[in-house]
Chains A and B, each alone.
Chain A
Amino acid sequence: MDLAPRRSVSPDQRFLGVLDTSPFRIAIVYSIVFACGAAVLLGAVDFAVSQVVDGSTDNLIEAEVQGLREQVLVLSRGDFIELIEQRSQDQDVRGAVYLMVDPQLRPVAGNVPAWPKIAANEGKWIQFKVQVPFGDETREHEMRAQRFPLPGGYRMLVGHDVQERQDVKNLMMRGLIAAVVLTLLMGLGGGFWMGRRILAQAGAISAVATQIMRGDLSQRLPVRQADDEINTLAREINSMLDKIEQLTLGMRTVLDSAAHDLRTPLNRLQATAEGAINQLLPGSVERRVLERVTTEVEHMRSTLDALLRIALAETGTVAREPVDLSELVGSMVELYAPVGEERGILLESAVAAGARVQGSRQLLAQALANLLDNAIKFTPDGGHIRVLLRGTATEPEVVVEDNGPGIPADKREIVLGRRVRLDEARKFPGSGLGLSLVAAVTKLHGARLVLDDAAPGLRVSLKF
């Protein structure tokens, strides 16, 4: 049986707790959405930019190809070579590349060292890399070009250095990745911060709620200045608590005055009768009558006590404290076992240690006493009663089982009502409030009361 209560919260659990909060989860979802958005946006920009830049480069090359095709028709080979050389040197057209090769693909003119060995049809776009001097070193630059034939088996290549464009693209890609990562990180960070805030607020609220459930109705939820949902909710719950407190206080006042107005005359009656008894001779008729009166007062008192305790339990205005249920059940069994033994009834028990509940020790004791009283009352001489405490430390179950006549299934609901005594029970003494008090006390402690067939006999279970 697992009776280890979980109490303290380690920093690890608190950290994991934040991961479990809804703001953190929402933040994760939103950061992913935003990251995807950023990616799509940057992708679109990149695409648009490439379209424009690539398009303008390609147009430039195509125009140059067109111009050279026309020039080659009107110029002599020597002039054409000179033209190519001239254009190759021309610093105004930055990045333009030219190469004219003879039928053996040996360079004749131009600023590209060698004919790229790429199997592509003339007129198609090709991409190739060329070593370009860059200060004291050389750098490999990406080139984009078109090739076309010249008369006499010569061939021509016209292209453009697109390295810069590639660099821009790479930069944009890096920027895009950085933006996505940053969005994710900021989202996670923000979510974590919000989660901690919510957790702190929720923690404060649940601490107060626990105290309120213990019966301290004067507690209120903490409210901050802000007008957010949590504070609004807390304010509304607080005004609801005000109302509940007022109502219960009102009920308590009514109960107290009812108690006072009944106990005071009963006390007078008791005092008057007792006072008169002492003046009378033992055995006289008058004395016997007055003794009857005091017996009845005693009976009324015990009924009144039971009714008041039921009413108190039902209004829930009883102070609550931690109750060691294991100790309580053990000591009640110990208290009642000899009573059973007088009639040869065996009172067995199996009580798990360490069970604790929040509540009223005295009311729980009274409820258990009523159950044991009943069990002993209805169990035949020589019978047996079993009392069990089982379940977990925080959710224990108390079972009282006898082998008496039991309660028929269709009457189990009814006996929990007030002052119900089944016909079969009329020959036994009692006020008929015993089980109603058990029911009220069970409810006060948030427990469940179940009457069941112990075949034969009655099984009463209180599940906390």
Chain B
Amino acid sequence: MHILIVEDDQVARDYLAKALRDVGHTVDVATNGLDGLQMASSMSVDLAIVDRMLPKLDGLALVQSLRATGRKMPVLILSALGDVDDRITGLRAGGDDYLTKPYHMSELLARIDALARRGDSGNAESNTKLKLADLELDRMTRRVTRNGKKIELTAREFQLLEFMMRHSGQVVTRTMLLEGVWDYHFDPQTNVIDVHISRLRQAIDKDFDKPLLHTVRGAGYSLREDE
């Protein structure tokens, strides 16, 4: 994937570029907003990571200009501001996701994967049936079966599983789950998400040989079929 990084802080930029190259992406960098806008408009960029406060052209203005010229590639906004409303402003300006500094690289990589996937499987939202190995979820009838056997889930467990299935094969972080399933953007001091995941795991994996819900150490969770 071709990723453009627009970031003025050199240390952060270099590390970000290296980490993305390490996982196999093609990376271009811009150190100010104007260069960033010019590169994003002229090259075929699959995804852009844009710092919010940039010299010459502000990150939000950059994203707005991109959207105004019809560029639809996913944009992840990085911010060193206060948060709470900043996140909303960032998403309103046309950003697809928002991450506050300092962030873990694992969080950023997980979010980029999710954004990229959203780009190339646009009809995933409208699919009524989700399937992974012998696990099936029907969004219309709200029925979940594994190996043909019906699994009883609470409404929230259903939403959680649906989110995990839509991101199957990817790493999903705890904050992504809290945002995506509960629509909360705060920092839980306790292991709230872990407890909910372990309940879901009880429900879908306990009576079956092959576990589907995996813990990814230091990052989050992943719903996938192990080869």
Q: Give residues in A with beta carbon < 8 Å to B.
A: 255-256, 259-260, 263-264, 266-272, 274-275, 294, 297, 301-302, 305-306, 308-309, 311-312, 318-319, 331, 334-336, 338-339, 341-342, 360, 362-363, 365-366, 369-370, 373, 376-377, 429-430, 434
Contacts and interface: CB of A to CB of B under 8 A. Distances in A.
B81 interface: yes
A301 B83 CA distance: 12
Given A318-B85, A339-B190, A376-B190, A270 B80 contact: no
A336 B184 CA distance: 13
Contacts, number: 111
Given A267-B12, A271-B15, A335-B192, A259 B80 contact: yes
Contact of A267 (B81, B85, B102): B102
11 contacts: A255-B82, A260-B53, A264-B80, A264-B101, A268-B9, A271-B102, A272-B15, A312-B82, A342-B195, A369-B184, A373-B190
A275 B15 contact: yes
Q: Which of B16, B80, B182, B185 has the most CB of A within 10 A?
A: B80
A362 B18 contact: no
B186 interface: yes
Interface string B104-135: 11000000000000000000000000000000
Contacts of B12: 264, 267-268, 271
Interface in B6-51: 9, 11-12, 15-16, 18-19
Interface in B70-84: 80-84
A297 B85 CA distance: 23
Contacts of A335: 182, 184, 192, 196
A370 to B, nearest CB: 8
Interface residues of B, number: 35
Given A369-B188, A373-B189, A376-B190, A266 B102 contact: yes
B84 A334 contact: no
B216 interface: no
A270 B18 CA distance: 14
A309 B9 contact: no
A268 B182 CA distance: 30
Contacts of B82: 255-256, 259, 308-309, 311-312
The 10 closest A-B pairs by CB, nearest first: A263-B80, A271-B15, A267-B101, A267-B102, A366-B186, A270-B102, A268-B11, A266-B102, A338-B195, A263-B101
Nearest to A437: B186
B88 interface: yes
Nearest to A291: B218
Contacts of B105: 271, 274
Nearest to B195: A338
A360 B100 contact: no
A272 to B, nearest CB: 6
Nearest to A256: B81
A266 B103 CA distance: 9
A362 B53 contact: no
Nearest to B7: A267
A270 B81 contact: no
Nearest to A269: B102
Contact of B80 (A267, A306, A319, A434): A267
A138 B18 CA distance: 124
B67 interface: no
B57 to A, nearest CB: 17
Contact of A297 (B19, B102, B184, B190): B102
